[in-house]
Amino acid sequence: MDIKIYTSTGCFYCTQVKELCKRAEVEYNEIVIGEDIARKDFNEEHPNCEGFPWVIVDGKTIGGLIPTAKYFLKEGLVSARKE
CATH of the domain at 21: 3.40.30.10
- Establish if 9 belongs to a structural domain: yes
Q: Quick one: pLDDT band at residue 61, thresholds 50, 70, 90?
A: very high
pTM of the model: 0.91
Tell me the C-alpha distance between 64 and 75, whole Å. Answer: 16
- Establish if 83 belongs to a structural domain: no
Q: Quick one: pLDDT band at residue 82, thresholds 50, 70, 90?
A: low
Domain that holds residue 22: 3-74
The mean pLDDT of 34-49, rounded to a whole number, is 93
| Total number of domains constituting the chain | 1
Q: Quick one: pLDDT band at residue 50, thresholds 50, 70, 90?
A: confident
